[in-house]
Structure 1
């Protein structure tokens, strides 16, 4: 697979993550860790079926347990930190800090062998971050002292996902089929977390169950498989900057579904994210 095709494949994950907010809202009132267990179980099951259909089960048996531990820590750790941050801090502020991960991917990628971090990558990431901030903070912000623990967790959340994404590139020889095991183990770890911290509440409508299924198939399923291909074989710096399109696309989807209203921030954010992504892509082309 060529570098450009792998980058395009990785961007499918960004498109799928744009549906995360819509389906998460539709899955209410299911608590976070139970939702995590259900959706990752679906995503893992789809992956296992894919592996079996290709006759690649023997590949999974040959993967070192440390890689399974790394992948599971990345998926489960990110979501555990994200959900905890949103419980302890206002969603807008916590979400903004958590969404520093694309910028961190761009910066950390400069440490990878064979990668060149150029000024255009950094400028593009910062410009796109400003665009994402316009969306996340469109209803205002108020950083209160009581929210500090949640904001700190949001920071670790951003570091966890960016670290997982960048280090995955160092595991380029590890087949993407391993992601199926990451998802299954993440689902299993989510069960005790749910039992310890949450009350069990199932979807109360047919649309709620469909939303859970859609999450497991898309944003919490296929997205992780194509993202793995993108960060291992594609242009990780362009992917990092392009990831800022997710909150923009997510907001547009919510507007289309009647969950949100259009505003001037969307137009400005679209322009900034586009300019930022274009700047980073140009920098990669020159490199």
Structure 2
């Protein structure tokens, strides 16, 4: 995938497809596409979410831990969908209430950003994997599994898998960087959401956060953390990079360095001549004054 983003949507799936909303959520390629409508869940609350992102080279280990609760006095069952690009099927693991859970993984093309159209539902347009192969920038993998709650039951849901960074994490020159994008907004469809913690563990190859739309605090060596009692506005977007001295050596390793120096050489030469002239002039004036 050209651009890799980390997308999480843990939601109640109303139907696939849902014909009643077809006109309101028409896909770009309606002959092969279908709409998925996500319904507002009024029974299940997310008490907390801890997202651990551990970067190792161009890969990352992702562990998302949710504490969820059935807020009613009745038993309930719901289907959850977790969306992320570049999911390695062999590394996916789902644990619900301390038990391994079966799941399915399918690839789709995401034609529209998930958006809220009314107060009680939202939708995303997913198309089949054939289209996804032709439009890899908008490809996502969907991990689907079931959750069953007894009255007022509370337990943890853990989703873990391997993930490939976006950007150019494998480069060994100054263009090297890693990109992470994570959808936060769709979690608003649960009854309640609170206590978000994001832990970011970087490796020595890209040890700093170059940019982020959320304010992380450095809490240890190459370790950053974000805390919020509520969901922040927008989605998580992080760019990680080398530190300043690593970037110096990376620049020297750049395959474009020779060409750049060749282009800049006339300007460098002119600059050296100016420096030499100024130095000579200053020394001459000092001798003349003395």
Structure possessing the higher relative contact order (Cα contacts under 8 Å, 6 or more residues apart):
1
Which of these two proteins has the greater Rg computed from alpha carbons? 2
State the TM-score bracket (shorter-chain normalisation).
under 0.3
Q: TM-score of the superposition, structure 1-length normalised?
A: 0.25
Higher strand residue share:
2
